[in-house]
Amino acid sequence: MFTSFDISTSALVANRTRLDAIAANIANADVPVDPKSRNPPFSEQVVYFAPGDPVSGDPNGVHVAAIQPRNDFRRAFEPWNPLADKDGYVRYPNIDPVVQQANAMLATRSYDANLAAIEAAKSMISSSLSIIS
């Protein structure tokens, strides 16, 4: 009876995960790549969805299959920057904040849509109670 709840919930979780990645992209858009750092440089994180909800085992749900870096960098000429290479260029992750904002809106709208689906299922269950009362 509550299958649609579980399906919509899996989509809610997936979209929140997508928004996490987008927030990381926006936050790290202006972080230069440190060539001497032992950590891998940040590049745009892309979230991939896949069908199937591993929590409830429902094949109609959705889950995040992978979050992978795009490994795309832009070069900026900043010879004063201590992180610059010998030619005076600093590498930044190639993240467009405008695209990220659009993706954030997409994730939010998708979240809202799934929330509306939950509301619809809820109101169907509630109104079915009026049959016997």
Partner 1 sequence: MNDPLGIVSRINTQASGFSRPGQSPAGQDFKQELLDEMRKVNQMQQDATQATNDLLTGQRDDIEGVMIATQKADSAFRMLLALRNKVVDAYDEVRNIRV
Q: What are phi and psi of 23, to 5 degrees?
A: -60, -40
Q: CB 61: neighbour CB atoms within 10 A?
A: 22
Pick the closer one to partner 1 by CB: 24 or 118: 118
Residue type, 45: Q
Distance of alpha carbon 21 from alpha carbon 44, whole angstroms? 9
Helix pair angle (97-128, 3-27), 10° resolution? 160
Q: Is 41 helix (H, G, I), strand (E, B) or coil?
A: coil
Of 37, 39, 127, 133, which one interacts with partner 1 (CB under 8 A)?
A: 133
Q: Tell whether residue 20 is a contact of partner 1 (CB under 8 A).
A: no
Pick the closer one to partner 1 by CB: 40 or 59: 59
Pick the closer one to partner 1 by CB: 56 or 94: 56
Q: Which stretch binds partner 1 (CB under 8 A): 2-10, 42-50, 70-78, 79-87?
A: 2-10
Q: Tell whether residue 129 is a contact of partner 1 (CB under 8 A).
A: yes
Q: Point out which residues bind partner 1 (CB under 8 A).
A: 1-3, 5-6, 9, 12-13, 16, 55, 118, 122, 125-126, 129, 132-133
